[in-house]
Structure 1
């Protein structure tokens, strides 16, 4: 029993260093936001997302997952995908709205904390009940995706409207409130962690991924913004479709009743 506990609390250098790199990128984003370099701050958040994706993949591939790594990842995510995008949104677009602006930024940070706490609680429940989470869905919008939406909005605005200064648009205020709601909601979002691809289709999927990479690299401020917007909208679309299915099932049951 004791060796298993030591293994669970063990620190693995490679995945933990990738997590620290994500933290560093988030902290750099905060510094850049305070200095008014909003485009650089947005890029840093996206880089943090890349490191956050890599640390989990490396930990699973090398069998180096641990409770220590999970807790470190959550703390770093709070900075990189909670505080950093919250400050970026506030300093870039929410300051003109006064109290409503900083309340929106705080709500976003609080929603990120709640989202991470719920995710960790679900992971602990699955481990204690000795069940593996095989679902390909997230419950609520993942905080890296929410942070990516804010970051790509900055990039899109800078690229399309040629502005490097602060902006004032009510849509951005509403976007922050919407992202906060989606993170703590029960809407389902695809995680792409347990995607099973048939062997005969792997080559076609590989070619498709190359084409997708070329598309994203063509005009990153536009294509990344569009990809983030599509992913954000997917949870709402799935929720509406599920609600429509439930209504149809209720109608069928009512029609069968005498």
Structure 2
């Protein structure tokens, strides 16, 4: 019987060994890392929300307002930084949503409750919970509709703007000297209705301009830079009132756009009819 037909014959073992052949271990799948730069902005925004809660627990509501507005500024930058540096990731998207829930959902609800809503008993904590739950619903809907929404508009009031409405009101009142807000007639109920308005507006279908089509890479007329400088100067005159006024105007702008589109017979939904062209004009 030939060797090759023998059951114990191993052709590979019988083959001559080639010294030039290198044997490598199978490659292990490469572990994906985490981009540092955009997530630093997100973590800083998260810290702003946490800082605001701590300050409110100590009765320092002006510092709490600083924390929320700083978080809103950083939140507006992390996505742009990720796109400009090509460091977008699924991890960053999830981190951003969780940070937003703390800074613009739980934090404003807890702060306004600690400030004055606790004087209303059950009505107070119900208003705070409605705001907090609407923020969670708004963020969940944003994450699931992100591929089919017209990028020029937000579907409902964005959570940073809703937080700015609630905290801006607290900042204005605290700056005006309304210490111990519960003792002033009407102020607790004013905060109650504003909190409900901000929360429920987050889950409406009203289109709020997103400013996402504003590009920092394009050239602009000189007058635009002058307008930005004047805007910064205007804010520095009295930050609490000016910022609160700006966010009040933005907080009702979505309903203005909704009514305008209805009157003109235009579609009012920001959900695109095609996922391939989310910026198309045909909306339903």
TM-score computed with the length of structure 2 as normaliser: 0.77
Deviation at 1:166, TM superposition (A): 3.1
Q: Distance in 2 between matches of 1:200 and 1:39?
A: 38
Match of 1:114 in 2: 137
Of residues 47, 57, 61, the one that matches 1:34 is 57
CA contact (8 A) 2:156 2:208 kept: yes
Deviations 1:117-149 (A, max 9, x none): 0111112x45xxxxxx66311000000000011
Of residues 217, 221, 226, the one that matches 2:240 is 221
- Call closer, same or farther: CA 1:6–1:244 in 2, change over 3 Å: farther
Larger radius of gyration: 2
For 1:80-91, what aligned pairs fall within 5 Å after superposition?
A: 80-91=103-114
CA contact (8 A) 2:181 2:188 kept: no
Q: Distance in 2 between matches of 1:68 and 1:198?
A: 26
> How many residues are treated as equivalent by the alignment?
234
Match of 1:145 in 2: 161
TM-score computed with the length of structure 1 as normaliser: 0.84
For 1:1-258, what aligned pairs fall within 5 Å after superposition?
A: 10-123=33-146, 125-126=147-148, 135-160=151-176, 162-167=177-182, 168-195=187-214, 201-246=220-265
Which region of structure 1 is more displaced relative to structure 2, 83-92 or 188-197? 188-197
- Call closer, same or farther: CA 1:194–1:200 in 2, change over 3 Å: closer
Q: CA RMSD in A?
A: 2.2
Unaligned runs of 5+ in 1: 127-132, 248-258
Deviations 1:72-131 (A, max 9, x none): 0000110000011000111112111111110110011100001110111112x45xxxxx
Q: Distance in 1 between matches of 2:84 and 2:30?
A: 20
- Call closer, same or farther: CA 1:163–1:74 in 2, change over 3 Å: same
Greater helix fraction, Structure 1 or Structure 2: 1
Deviation at 1:10, TM superposition (A): 4.6
Secondary structure, aligned partner of 2:181? coil
Secondary structure, aligned partner of 1:193? coil
- Call closer, same or farther: CA 1:197–1:244 in 2, change over 3 Å: farther
